[in-house]
Amino acid sequence: MFLLDLIQGFIIGATLIIAIGPQNLFVINQGLKKNFVFTSVIFCSLSDSILIILGINLSNLIININTNSIVILKIIGGIWLVIYGLNKIIKTNNSKYINKKNEIHNSLKKIFITLFLITYANPHVYLDTVILIGSISTTFESQLFFGIGAIIASFTFFFSLGYLSKFLSKYIYSKKTWFWIDLTISFLMISYGLKFIFF
């Protein structure tokens, strides 16, 4: 029975995580550029795990969460995503794209700051991990095994996403392709930011 809870936790966790959002886009971007891939995927996986554990342990209190705090978080996260996307577009337009693979890597400090903001200032991360998984866990006999299944799904998804992107990067040689990849990710980040602010 507990094994069934674990499997269902994995399936539900994977279903919620798999939707492309700012966090996933950042991991894809890091994988394609072969830039701190392990750091990115382990940060996202561990963050999800912490929030899932928090959601399960606070599952009986989740229903009383103040909706105003979620709205404020959405606006702050949205503004940051818009700024991030615009900044990325400016850098993309100014880049000469001589050799993307030899591009100077971003500092580890900058990567951590970006990962922190893109994870903890993203309201959908809380919605998926703390609120949804936390509340769903109450319907299972073993919340522990359900939570473990959801955590395994998170690690599996982020590591697959990051390292699959890294693998595919060796087949991208065109400077124009790199330009459009960066531009697309930038516009998607801005779109998510505007969505968080106005919807």
Return the ∠ at Cα 196 (arms to 193 and 199), rounded to 5°.
Answer: 130
DSSP-assigned letters across all residues of 89-124: HHHHHH---S-GGGPPPPPHHHHHHHHHHHHHT-HH
Residue of 92, 75, 65 whose CA lies nearest to 185: 92
Residue 99, pLDDT > 60, answer no
- Domain range spanning residue 104? 2-198
Q: pLDDT band for position 95 (50/70/90)?
A: low
Q: Please give the pLDDT value at position 63.
A: 52
Predicted confidence (pLDDT) per residue in 61-81, tens digit: 655 666 666 677 678 777 877
Q: What is the pTM of this model?
A: 0.76
pLDDT tens column, 125-183: 877 788 778 878 888 888 899 999 999 999 999 999 999 999 988 887 677 787 888 88
| Model pLDDT, residue 30 | 92
What is the reported pLDDT for 97? Answer: 47
Contact call for residues 51 and 126 (beta carbons, < 8 A): yes
Number of folded domains that form the chain: 1
Decide if pLDDT at 104 tops 60. Answer: no
**pLDDT tens, 168-191?**
888 876 777 878 888 888 888 888
49 vs 19 pLDDT, higher one: 49
Reading the block at residue 145, the tokens are 């095994």
